Each structure stands twice: as structure tokens, then as C-alpha cells.
Structure 1
Amino acid sequence: MNYKIVIDSCGELLERWKEDERIESVPLTLTVEGEDIVDDETFDQASFLKKVADSPNCPKSSCPSPERYMQAYDCGADHVYAVTLSANLSGSYNSAVLGKNLLLDEKPGQKIHVFDSRSASVGESLIALKIEECENQGMEFEQVVETVEAYIESQNTYFVLENLETLRKNGRLSNLKAFVASALKIKPVMGATPEGTIVQLDQARGINKALMKMVDYIAEGAKDSENKVLAISHCNCPERAEIVKEAILKRISVKDVFVLDTAGVSTMYANDGGIIVVI
């Protein structure tokens, strides 16, 4: 095993990765009303969404420990890479870096790099895919790091949420604004800044109009799209994801495209009906 990619569980896994020993998902833990739910292969999306909907409190997530990351890195691979959700949204990046330092204390020659995705969900998946591509091309470790960091700089993340409750509960949206938005069926079109924070790009009345506005932003912001992979994740709405995919592909050409259902952390943030697009 020449390389290993460690990705925190906010990043969705391609189906073929689930059987690949070079890819390991390190789970975050979700908490709803005092109940801890590990975001691994046992995660039950339908059950989790019901628990969140029934709770007046905001669900929370806790990142893997540095020791858990260290355990994942200590694998015998020549090159080890970690991909975490944005350092501006979670402590997962800092924990991954601490885990790297712990292992380097014991094995100072180990080559490890931690990538701050400055994104989440399928943004992380695309970064892991880029690492895999670089390794399969036979790049040296330093060249992989340089190439992938440049790729992260070029990445754009967009999302539209059907349900604003998690944003309201965690204080990112005031009760009044959430109420008005819900009453008027206003849906924000959101994106990620270059630093990996969340910004509202636009809004529209109704989910379908908001999704098409998002498509406009994607098409207008796409650069060199024919050489990029388009990734879409959805929370319990595959038909909506397909509509968004087809609308985007009518506007731009891409190298490849994949659509995945959200795992635990992305489900918590996107909530039922949410769509995330990264290119």
C-alpha cells in the first residue's frame, strides 16, 4: 500500500472506496438530545432526520480525537493524506494535524499531509479523488501536495436548503428571519468563501427557483469545467439532485459527474431536502 487517504466522515465516500483499504473514513459523532450517533456505516439517515425534526435543540457534532487520526495514519503506507471539512466550520482539521504530530514524534520520517478542504461533503470527496488521481499518475509526495492544494484553491461550493431549522437552531439564522423565510417560502442560495466560511449568494421564492439560481452561479463561475469533475450530494432527495445535475450539464461541459446521498455530518447541516454542489 503506497498511499492512504484518510477522510473525515463529512466527506461522502464513492461506492468503490468502501472496499478500498487505501481509503479510510474517520467518523465524527453526532449528538441529538443527549444521544450520541457515530457517523459510520451504521448511520441511519431516516432515523436521524426524525430525531432532529422532533428536537427543539440544535444537533451537534464532535470531531475525531487526535489519537483516532494517529491510529488511521499509522498504517505502513509511504504517503498518507488526510482530508477534513473546513477548519472554519469544525475542529476536525486541527485534530487531524495534532494526530499527524503525534505520529511524527514516533515516526519522524513518515510523510503525512493534512488538507483543509475549505469545503465539506462532496468537496472533500473531490479532493480525495484528486489525491488518488495524482498518486495513480506516479507523482512524488511533494508534487501531490502542491497539485492538490492548487486544486482546492480552484474549487467552488454551492448549496440550497429546503429546511432552515438547523441554521435557525444553531444561531446562524435568527428566529424572525427563519420565520419570515419559511412563511414566504424564501430559500437562500449559499456558497463557500475562499477561506471556507459560509456566505449567502442570493435567494429566491421557492426551492425550484433557488436551485436554478444556484445553477446560474455554477455556470457563470465555472472555469476550465471540461477538465473538472462535478459532484452533487443530496439529503434524501435523489430526484431533485438529478434535476440539478441535468440543468448544470445543459450549461457547462465536465470531465465526469457523480451524485451521492449525504452521510451523517452532511445530513445534519443540509437537513431533509438539501442539495450541495461542488466543482
Structure 2
Amino acid sequence: MSKWKIVADSGCDYRQLAQLAPDTEFVSVPLSIQIGDQTFVDDASLDIDQMVSVMQSTSEAATSACPSTQAYEEAFAGAENVIVVTITGGLSGSFNAARVARDMYLEEHPDAKIHLIDSLSAGGEMDLLVTEINRLIASGLEFEEVVSAITTYQEKSKLLFVLAKVDNLVKNGRLSKLVGAVVGLLNIRMVGEASSEGKLELLKKARGHKKSVTAAWEEMKKAGYKGGRIIMAHRNNDKFFQQFSDLVKETYPEASIEEVATSGLCSFYAEEGGLLMGYER
């Protein structure tokens, strides 16, 4: 039995964590993506390129399905302390599934401790939360201390997204068709954030790649960025990562900026060229 488990659904981009804290396991609980009659399970074996190509070649709305309560219960098994991070409840039922699973698990295992976090976010911000939980555990804190510290940390973390394609969000009714048409026709990038309620909120439209880099940087500074950690999860957009990193480092040369490939689920939401960037304020 391990002392700790960090459990995250696949709104987090990591499939495994580098430098895991001692006596700690990391478990990724996959969501699944349904495109027409095909189901793609967002685990380590998913061919994301193939999934995206199927998604782009169909006009049907693709949908995502949250993990089952059973999948969460299995993920909790065999640890004294469990910290769970889910994608925003505003986009998925994953948090609710985890909550039901926790209640059922604790009936059978009353000595276990399980703390649930609705990230109110996805992608890079979830990645930040997961790596911070790992760091807190490694520093030797007790369960309640980790919970208290990560709650404070979450208030200082944010998500900024830049999307070059929004077909999926339009097909799923998350964005209006009008906005979708504008993005497609005019080479517009949507720059937005996860709101405090965990909804995708548009901040500005930037025309073309170069302006989107500047717009993202402006929005981040406006939200209170002062040189903290950044994790940028992106779908095939090395150019943005490089140029944005250069921009940040002009002002904050010591800033830690990590690059991660988007999970299947985050590729589903961000689409080609999209990115979901978590940062510390």
C-alpha cells in the first residue's frame, strides 16, 4: 500500500509524472471521446494524431464522456492519502463522478483520506496543480497541510488559452456559429481564460499568429503575472511556445516555462495549433 496517490483525469496532459515524491503513485483516469461511431479512450496508448484526423474529417459533433465512478474507485485503491484533480465541472461530469466514487470508497475504507479538487480549468493549469501537489508531498507535509497549501496555490494559478480553430466548440454548442465562422475565415485566434466559475471566457480576438503571441502576453500581465512558473500544453505549435517563451524571458529571464503535448481530451478542445497555458500569478 502506498502512502499517497495523485489522481487526475485526462484533462491533465501528463500520463506519468517525472520525479514522483517518495511513496507516491500518479494515476491518470481517462475520459473518452466519441466521434461518429468511434470511441477513443484518452490513455497512454491513444494515437492522438489519428483521433484528430478522424475528428477533422467528420461534420458530426464529437463528444467527450467522463470516467465512470468505478474507474475512480479503482484509482483510489491502495493508498492512505488521495488527492484528485478533475477538469472543470463546467465542461464535464468528471468531478461529480469522482465525488460519488469518493463517498462509495470511504464507506468501504473509512480510514482513507480523499480530497477532491475541481480545477475549474484544463490543460496547463491542471498540469501545474498536479506538479505542485507532488512537490508538496515530497516536502514531507501531512495530508491536511497539503490540502491547505494546494487550495491557496489554486487561487494564484490561472489558465490562458489561444485557439486557432474552434470547429469542435461550435459543433458542441460551446461557441456560436458566427464566432466560429469569423475565426475560420479571417485567420483570427481566440485568446481567452478559464473564468472563476470554470467556463471558457473570450478575452480578445487577435488576427494572425504574431498578434496572438502579443495578445496572450498582454492578457497574462494584466491578470497579474510576475515571473511565476508556466506550463504550456499545446497541439503542434512549437512556434508559439518558442516566441512566447522569448517574450516572457525578456522581462523575467529566470521564469520556468515547460512545454507539454496536449492530451487527447485537450487536443479535442484546443484543436490543431491550440494551446492551454497554466501560469502562476
Pairing 1:11–2:18 present: no
Does the 8 A contact of 2:124 with 2:159 survive in 1? no
1:268: Cα distance to partner? 0.1
Amino acid at match of 1:45: I
Distance in 2 (alpha carbons) for counterparts of 1:235 and 1:3: 31
Distance in 2 (alpha carbons) for counterparts of 1:176 and 1:15: 39
State which drifts further: 246-255 or 44-53. 246-255
Query: What's the % identity of the aligned pairs?
Result: 29
State which drifts further: 239-248 or 143-152. 239-248
Q: 1:66 aligns with which of 59, 65, 69?
A: 69
How is 1:54-133 mapped onto 2 (pairs within 5 angstroms)?
54-75=57-78, 77-133=79-135
1:247 corresponds in structure 2 to: 247
CA RMSD after TM alignment = 1.9
1:271: Cα distance to partner? 0.2
Does the 8 A contact of 2:164 with 2:188 survive in 1? no
1:258 corresponds in structure 2 to: 258
Does the 8 A contact of 1:189 with 1:211 survive in 2? no
Distance in 1 (alpha carbons) for counterparts of 2:31 and 2:215: 32
Pairing 1:197–2:199 present: yes
Amino acid at match of 2:49: A
Instruction: Count residues in correspondence.
Output: 276
Question: Is there any run of 5+ residues in structure 2 with no aligned partner, and where?
Answer: none
1:253: Cα distance to partner? 5.4
Pairing 1:183–2:185 present: yes
Amino acid at match of 1:248: V
Query: Deviations 1:200-250 (Å, cap 9, x if unpaired)?
Result: 111121132122101111123234x44x32100110222322222222222
Does the 8 A contact of 1:238 with 1:261 survive in 2? no
Pairing 1:36–2:39 present: yes
Amino acid at match of 1:210: S
Tell me the secondary structure at the aligned position of residue 156 of structure 1: strand
Distance in 1 (alpha carbons) for counterparts of 2:149 and 2:259: 24
State which drifts further: 267-276 or 16-25. 16-25
Distance in 1 (alpha carbons) for counterparts of 2:216 and 2:69: 37
State which drifts further: 240-249 or 206-215. 240-249
Distance in 1 (alpha carbons) for counterparts of 2:51 and 2:92: 20
1:134: Cα distance to partner? 1.1
Q: Name the TM-score, length of structure 1 as normaliser.
A: 0.93
Runs of 4+ in 1 over 6 A off after TM superposition: 18-21
State which drifts further: 28-37 or 244-253. 244-253
